[in-house]
Structure 1
Amino acid sequence: MSAVTLGYDVSPLGEGVPFGATVSGLTLAQLSDSQVRQALYDLWIDKGVLLFRGGESSPQMQLELSRCFGELEPHPFPESRSEGNPDLVKIKFYPDDGSYYEINGELRGGWLPWHSDLIYTHRINHGGILRPVQLPSTLGMTGFLCQIAAYDRLPQPLRERIEGLHAVYEVQVDFSGCPFTDAGDVRLMRLANSGTEIEKRRFTYPRVIHPMVFTQQETGRKVLNVSPTFAIGIYEEGGPEGEELLREVVRHCTDAALSYFHDWQPGDMVLWDNWRTLHCATGVPPDETRVMERTTITGDYALGRRLGLDGPIADFDV
Structure 2
Amino acid sequence: MASVASRYEVAPLRDGLPFGATVSGLTLDMLKDESTRKALYDLWIDKGVLYFRDGDSSDDMHMELSACFGPLEEHLFPSVRSETNPALTKIKFFPEDGSLYDVRGEPRGSWLPWHSDLVYSASINRGGILRPDQIPPRFGKTGYLCQIAAYERLPQSLRDRIEGKHVVYEITIDHGDHTFADTDEVTCLRMAASGEAIQKNKFTYPRVVHPMVYTQEKTGRKVLNVSPGFALGIYEDGSWAGDALLHEVCKYCMDPELAYFHDWQMGDMVLWDNWRVLHCAEGTHPEDTRVMYRTTISGDYAMGRPIGIDGPTADYDI
Instruction: Tell me the equivalent position of 1:232.
Output: 232
Moved more, 217-226 or 169-178: 169-178
Pairwise CA distance, 1:311: 2.2
Instruction: Tell me the equivalent position of 2:214.
Output: 214
Matched, 1:311 2:313: yes
Contact persistence 1:179–1:232 (CA under 8 A): yes
Pairwise CA distance, 1:310: 5.7
Aligned partners of 2:67 and 2:283: how far apart in 1? 28
Q: Trace 1:179-194 onto structure 2 (pairs within 5 A).
A: 179-194=179-194
Aligned partners of 1:313 and 1:180: how far apart in 2? 28
Aligned partners of 1:44 and 1:183: how far apart in 2? 31
TM-score, normalization: structure 2? 0.96
Contact persistence 1:103–1:184 (CA under 8 A): no
Q: Trace 1:98-109 onto structure 2 (pairs within 5 A).
A: 98-109=98-109
Aligned partners of 2:3 and 2:37: how far apart in 1? 11
Instruction: Tell me the equivalent position of 1:157.
Output: 157
Pairwise CA distance, 1:178: 1.0
TM-score, normalization: structure 1? 0.96
Contact persistence 1:123–1:301 (CA under 8 A): yes
Contact persistence 2:5–2:36 (CA under 8 A): no
**Secondary structure, counterpart of 1:75 in structure 2:** coil
Amino acid at match of 1:92: K
CA separation of 1:183/1:311 partners in 2, compared to 1, >3 Å: closer, same or farther? closer
Contact persistence 1:233–1:242 (CA under 8 A): yes
Instruction: Tell me the equivalent position of 2:170.
Output: 170
Instruction: Tell me the equivalent position of 1:200.
Output: 200
Contact persistence 1:234–1:246 (CA under 8 A): yes
Instruction: Tell me the equivalent position of 2:53.
Output: 53
Aligned partners of 1:130 and 1:184: how far apart in 2? 28
Amino acid at match of 1:79: S
Matched, 1:42 2:42: yes
Pairwise CA distance, 1:2: 5.8
Q: How many residues align?
A: 314
Aligned partners of 1:15 and 1:137: how far apart in 2? 26
Contact persistence 2:2–2:8 (CA under 8 A): no
Amino acid at match of 1:212: M
Instruction: Tell me the equivalent position of 2:259.
Output: 259
Contact persistence 2:130–2:292 (CA under 8 A): yes
Runs of 4+ in 1 over 2 A off after TM superposition: 309-314
Instruction: Tell me the equivalent position of 1:111.
Output: 111
1:179-229 CA-partner distances (Å, limit 9, x unpaired): 111144011100000011111101100000000000000000000000001
Contact persistence 2:25–2:55 (CA under 8 A): yes
Matched, 1:88 2:107: no
Aligned partners of 2:182 and 2:139: how far apart in 1? 21
Aligned partners of 1:46 and 1:313: how far apart in 2? 31
Contact persistence 1:6–1:36 (CA under 8 A): no
Amino acid at match of 2:313: G
Instruction: Tell me the equivalent position of 2:135.
Output: 135
Moved more, 303-312 or 212-221: 303-312
Matched, 1:276 2:283: no
Aligned partners of 1:2 and 1:67: how far apart in 2? 23
**Secondary structure, counterpart of 2:64 in structure 1:** helix
Instruction: Tell me the equivalent position of 1:146.
Output: 146
Aligned partners of 1:311 and 1:183: how far apart in 2? 31
Amino acid at match of 1:287: E
**Secondary structure, counterpart of 2:5 in structure 1:** helix
**Secondary structure, counterpart of 1:302 in structure 2:** coil
Contact persistence 1:135–1:289 (CA under 8 A): yes
Amino acid at match of 2:170: E
**Percent of counterpart pairs with the same letter?**
62
Aligned partners of 2:168 and 2:123: how far apart in 1? 14
Pairwise CA distance, 1:15: 2.1
